[in-house]
Amino acid sequence: MNLLKISKALADGTRYKILKILMANGEISCGELEDHFTLSQPTISHHLKILYDCELVSVKKDGQHSLLSVNKKMLEKYFETLKMELVK
Amino acid sequence: MNLLKISKALADGTRYKILKILMANGEISCGELEDHFTLSQPTISHHLKILYDCELVSVKKDGQHSLLSVNKKMLEKYFETLKMELVK
DNA sequence: TTGATATATTGAAATGTGTCTATATTATTA
DNA sequence: TAATAATATAGACACATTTCAATATATCAA
């Protein structure tokens, strides 16, 4: 786990919203996700790549669709590490 | 509390290190903090301002010194809000 | 009051980030 | 196979961020 990379990924309003949408909707495709934004498709794709690269979001290929979901394990691990490093 | 502002403040290696140093050392001055870095004094001052603006760091003026400390309440509030918004 | 010390501010350079349009790639379906 | 649909990549632009040197401000001490 790259702590700083995850922190940077979380430090953007669009990506934070993506995570909230994915948490609320479970597995959805990129297209469905895009419907929640006025941003262009490449922009959403770019943000998804950042979330994927730090392993906060998982992608399951299903034909021409990509099913997205939050890697809750990684999110939990991030919270715990942050708390441990900073607070304890 | 401005969640995104705090996330951005945490998403920098130098500022993260500042918080860790402050957590480990309690109240120290800017000068003592700078001793932990090879960065210039204005650079550290700049990062401190960002941490102060989002209320993660408190400053107590003591003559010509500024005594720094982490606002643990804010840090805890941040963790809880993040967890509540994302996980629950 | 003057010189020294601690911190903040300014302005500039380099680098990073978010966004778009255009286009490529991959998979489906007619 | 050809057209369509879903997603990814490339390149460009504007803006933000990190850093520094120079300087300003504030406080202490002689």
Which stretches does DSSP call E strand in A22-85?
28-29, 57-62, 65-70
**pLDDT value at residue B80:** 95
Contact B76 A85 (CB under 8 A): no
Which residue type sits at A36? Answer: H
Distance between CA atoms of residues A58 and A75, nearest Å: 12
Which residue type sits at A2? Answer: N
With cut-offs at 50, 70 and 90, classify the pLDDT of residue B88. confident
Distance between CA atoms of residues B78 and B2, nearest Å: 9
Domains present along chain A, CATH in parentheses? 3-86 (1.10.10.10)
Q: Which of A4, A7, A79 sits opposite B83 (nearest CB)?
A: A79
Per-residue pLDDT tens over the stretch A39-78: 999 999 999 999 999 999 999 999 999 999 999 999 999 9
| B86 CB neighbour count, 10 Å cutoff | 20
Q: What are phi and psi of A18, to 5 degrees?
A: -60, -45
Q: In the sheet where A57-62 sits, what is the strand order?
A: A28-29, A65-70, A57-62
Contact A11 B13 (CB under 8 A): no
Distance between CA atoms of residues B88 and B83, nearest Å: 7
Residues of B with CB under 8 A from a CB of A: 4, 7-8, 10-13, 16, 19-20, 23, 70, 72, 75-76, 79, 82-83, 85-87
Q: Is residue B66 pLDDT above 80, yes or no?
A: yes
Distance between CA atoms of residues B1 and B13, nearest Å: 22
Q: Is residue A7 pLDDT above 90, yes or no?
A: yes
CB crowding A17-54: b at 16 or more within 10 Å, else e? ebbebbbeeeebeeeebbeeeeeeeeebeebbebbbeb
Chain A, 41-80: which CBs lie within 7 Å of strand D?
A: 41-42, 45-46, 48-49, 59, 64-66
Give distance CA B30 / C1' C10 (Å): 20
